Amino acid sequence: MRFLPPTALLATLGLLAAPRAQAQQYQKNPAGLTLTTDSLTVEIQFYTPEIVRVLKFPKGHEPGKKSLVVLQPPAAGPLKYGEQRGTVQVASASTQVRINRQTGQVSFLAAKGQPLLSEQAGGARFTPKKDLGTATYRVRQRFQLAPGEAVYGLGQHQNGHLNYRGQQVLLKQKSLDIAVPVLHSGKGYAVLWDNYSTTQFADNAAGALFDSEIGDCVDYYLLNGQGTADGVVARYRQLTGQAPLFPRWTLGFWQSKERYRSQNETVGVVEKYRALGVPLDGIVQDWQYWGEDNDFWNDMAFNNPGFPDPQGMVDKVHALHAHQMISIWPSFGRKTKAYQELASKDMLFDFITWPRTPHVKVYDAFDPAARDIYWKYLNQGIFRLGMDAWWMDATEPDQLAPFDTDDDNETALGSFRRVRNAYPLVATGGVYQHQRQVSEAKRVFILTRSAFAGQQRNATMVWSSDVDSRWDVLAKQIPAALSLSLAGLPHWNSDIGGFFPNGEYPKGAKDPAFQELFTRWQQFAAFTPMMRAHGEATPREIYQFGERGSWAFDAQAKFIDLRYRLLPYLYSNMWAVTSRAGTVLRALPMDFPQDPKVTDMGSEYMFGPAFLVRPVTEAQYVNRPDKNVPVPASFAQTKGVDVYLPAGAKWVDFWTGQPQAGGQTVQRETPIDLMPLYVRAGSVLPLGPHQQYTGEKDGAPLEIRVYPGADGEFTLYEDENDNYNYEKGAYATIRMRWNDRARQLTLENRAGTFPGMQASRTFRVILVDAQHGTGVGADDAPAKEVAYTGKQVAVKL
């Protein structure tokens, strides 16, 4: 079958028109068309030229669905229509959609007719069922993927997979698993399956299947990234909402544990870090600050006698130039005021959740009035104190009763069965929206362990839940994080060292085996969007591991300090996430789609545009066959790991400045204080000063490191760091361009301004050169000092 390109369709409509009776089977509309077969209605709606919605439902059963995920309305722009040999086509300038008039089967093609994705013939199925007495369906749609096509995303599933071809994944929110029904293809498109019930994804010889427990329709979006992974993510964010900018201080180091039992202990941790000279920006107050009686569970008030002056605690933390986050839950004990008000309005679910008592119940976050009540108590009891951030735990929510009876709970939007996967979206959205209404001076920051499509718009940072303290678990964090990122959610982190030691380390932080695991995990965490130590039983503060001069302390301090030096690079990349739908945690296929060796590589990743990161995920210096036999760490022989340097770029060892060709595997030595890091040639890398907290030395010179071997550029972003004035244009950028042949770095004219901006500043420009030892280098590395006043200046190196 041959189709004319979209530019020729209108001119030929008269020649291709079907008989009148056949033409009545579909109707054109400004956003697409509606086609009806003998048993099925198919609606095609263009939201942009690259975003197409497909809605299918049994004939005569129009669902009238309102999406919880999608924000953008249809806005197709010019469309062209045509038909030929029983197939109808509607096309934008970049995306063609073809529908079989007899079966309703849909296929997608790029502008020039290159196939993107096709449904299987007869791939849509509707199985009638009852849900709380209401007639509905189990809905299924099967697609045909191309041979060798890699698919990614689907949320966070800690199974070690990056490419989900030939795999099955249960999309059902629970601790450790995050269900995000976005399937991201290596061909540069994605499918957003807009359904909120438990869904089985499976790919096999029969095709790729989405099979949802409840749905009134098949409802999905084709996101045409026009051949690039970044294009896919941009279309997803355009459709479901952009990610707001976090406060700059959230990029510093966070300390936490389960749990600090008094305000003196909480403040004392910050004081200890300051006394040691180890950088710190965030301290976390975990649960039971409300008291240990579960009848007062999550009271959103400091009833615990260990916290007699919560306002004084927050003020002391702020006086130490740190910030505080606090744990909050979606459930309430029966003696809390929130429980009593929610119960009086029938806004509580009837299932057992943590802490395993029938007197603690989860609230119905699908009800906007219930979200108002939740914020009322949160604001009165905690936010008014000046609390800086929220740790929204158990936003699945974590259920302990049989799932079939839990699903029979009625929500404001129908059964819990129908909407369960979207609970974290609406729960975090309630807090985000209410805080925005109360204050524009403090940016919202929410740490949460569950997520759904669209949740990036709620200022959420996802963490990988209460993972075990094991090497194999550490290794699986990498593809889990990358999968979530490929599904469009940019912000992820994990508990450094794992949450549950499970008795494996009887000496805790003094155990060499745990010290090695924790140190390697922390190195990985330094190259994730949030660097946060947390865990149960074993304390995680740096001073628990020994004194300065001991290997564990020094290796950890080195990477905390490196994290702070990277703040200009990190904050600028976070701005790219917000302003350009960017991605910080980048699976290698995003940047090197032509290199087949990285198609399913989940052991390495790019961190922003510059860094190739290869975490060490196996024990190298402590080998303990029996957990009860203490074995000292042996550094007699330096170990190493294999690192693959992707083809299509040249690379520079961050630590030594040594250049390396791409497309090869190298053996990199890994002493305990070093994780393999390579910088893409052509990178322009801004480094900040050594400091104890974010903003301590904002007036200090910035170091600009140039990695030769290719042309490149970087845009430095700056603003007021913790308010929403940037949304009104209060920020500044400096574009830095490197011409490799001319050996010239050009600092372009500053664009924009904001209150408190430094009118002039000093840059120390360094050309990285292995011969002169300017890899990561010392502070006295050879540099050219540049006095920058906002006007373009060129620097020859």
Structure tokens at 35: 């086609």
DSSP secondary structure string for all residues of 606-639: EETTTEEE----S-SS---SSTTS------SS--
Catalytic pick from 119, 203, 466, 511?
Answer: 466
Range with lowest mean pLDDT among 207-221, 526-540, 763-777? 763-777
Q: What angle do CA 374, 378, 381 make, to 5 degrees?
A: 140
Share of the chain above pLDDT 70, in %: 95
Structure tokens at 741: 């042949």
pTM of the predicted model, to two decimals? 0.95
Range with lowest mean pLDDT among 12-21, 473-482, 721-730? 12-21
Q: Domains (ranges, CATH) in the chain?
A: 6-187+189-224 (2.60.40.1760)
H helical segments located in 85-228: none
**Residue 573: in which H helix or E strand, if any?**
helix 567-580
Q: Which of 348-362, 402-416, 587-601 has the highest mean pLDDT?
A: 587-601
488: left (phi over 0), alpha (psi -120 to 50) or beta: left
Q: What is the mean pLDDT of residues 778-787?
A: 79
For 32-43, letters b (16+ CB in 10 Å) and e give bbbbbbeebbbb
Distances from the Cα of 165 to the Cα of 144, 185, 207, angstroms = 12, 10, 10
Distance CA 704, CA 142 (A): 51
With H, G, I as helix, E, B as strand and everything else as coil, classify residue 661.
Answer: coil
Residue with tokens 């896919």: 232
Range with lowest mean pLDDT among 24-28, 370-374, 642-646, 697-701? 24-28
790: left (phi over 0), alpha (psi -120 to 50) or beta: left
Distance CA 209, CA 460 (A): 29
Catalytic pick from 388, 396, 561, 722?
Answer: 396
H helical segments located in 491-566: 512-525, 551-565
Give the confidence band of 77 by pLDDT, cuts at 50, 70, 90: confident
pLDDT of amino acid 506? 86
Residue with tokens 């009104």: 728
Structure tokens at 50: 């690259």
Share of the chain above pLDDT 90, in %: 89
Structure tokens at 15: 């020649």
Residue 624 predicted with pLDDT over 90: no
Active-site annotation holds for 719: no
Q: Give helix 423-438 / helix 368-381 axis angle, nearest 10°.
A: 50
Distances from the Cα of 576 to the Cα of 11, 229, 427, 469, 717, angstroms = 42, 15, 26, 33, 9
Structure tokens at 754: 């904001």
Q: Which long-range contacts (CB under 8 A, 24 or more apart) does 539-542 make?
A: 539/257, 539/508, 539/509, 540/255, 540/256, 540/257, 540/496, 540/497, 540/509, 541/255, 541/257, 541/269, 541/272, 541/273, 542/273, 542/276, 542/278
User: Mean pLDDT across the chain, nearest whole number?
Assistant: 94
Phi first, then psi: give them for residue 406, nearest 5 degrees. -60, -40
Residue 22 predicted with pLDDT over 80: no
Catalytic pick from 50, 299, 367, 393?
Answer: 393
Are 377 and 93 in contact by the 8 Å Cβ rule? The answer is: no
Quote the strand ranges of 111-250, DSSP E. Answer: 115-131, 134-144, 151-156, 168-171, 178-185, 189-193, 199-204, 207-215, 218-224
Q: 490: which residues sit within 8 A by CB, 6+ positions away?
A: 243, 456, 529, 577, 582, 583, 584, 585
Distance CA 155, CA 181 (A): 7
For 62-94, letters b (16+ CB in 10 Å) and e give ebeeebbbbeeebebeebbbbbbeebbbbbbee
Active-site annotation holds for 466: yes
Give the confidence band of 626 by pLDDT, cuts at 50, 70, 90: confident
Cis peptide before 259 (omega within 30 of 0): yes
Residue 1 predicted with pLDDT over 50: no
Residue 163 predicted with pLDDT over 70: yes
pLDDT of amino acid 11? 32
DSSP-assigned letter for residue 231: H
DSSP-assigned letter for residue 654: T
Neighbouring-strand partners of residue 734: 716
Active-site annotation holds for 367: no
pLDDT of amino acid 19? 38
Residue 465 predicted with pLDDT over 80: yes
How far out from the chain centre does Cα 192 lie? 16
Structure tokens at 605: 């990743």
The upper half-sphere exposure of residue 307, i.e. CA atoms within 13 Å in the direction of its Cβ, equals 23
Structure tokens at 675: 């994780």
Q: What is the mean pLDDT of residues 722-740?
A: 98
Give the confidence band of 20 by pLDDT, cuts at 50, 70, 90: very low
The closest of 384, 339, 393 to 364, measured between CA atoms, is 339
C-alpha radius of gyration, the chain, whole number: 27
Are 486 and 273 in contact by the 8 Å Cβ rule? The answer is: no
Q: What angle do CA 443, 448, 453 make, to 5 degrees?
A: 90
Give the confidence band of 285 by pLDDT, cuts at 50, 70, 90: very high
Q: 655: which residues sit within 8 A by CB, 6+ positions away?
A: 674, 677, 775, 776
Give the confidence band of 399 by pLDDT, cuts at 50, 70, 90: confident
686-717 pLDDT, tens digit each: 999 999 999 999 999 999 999 999 999 999 99
Q: What is the mean pLDDT of residues 25-42?
A: 93
Give the confidence band of 354 by pLDDT, cuts at 50, 70, 90: confident
Distance CA 633, CA 652 (A): 30
Residue 7 predicted with pLDDT over 70: no
Distance CA 574, CA 580 (A): 10
pLDDT of amino acid 342? 98
Neighbouring-strand partners of residue 613: 605, 677
Give the confidence band of 776 by pLDDT, cuts at 50, 70, 90: low
pLDDT of amino acid 398? 77
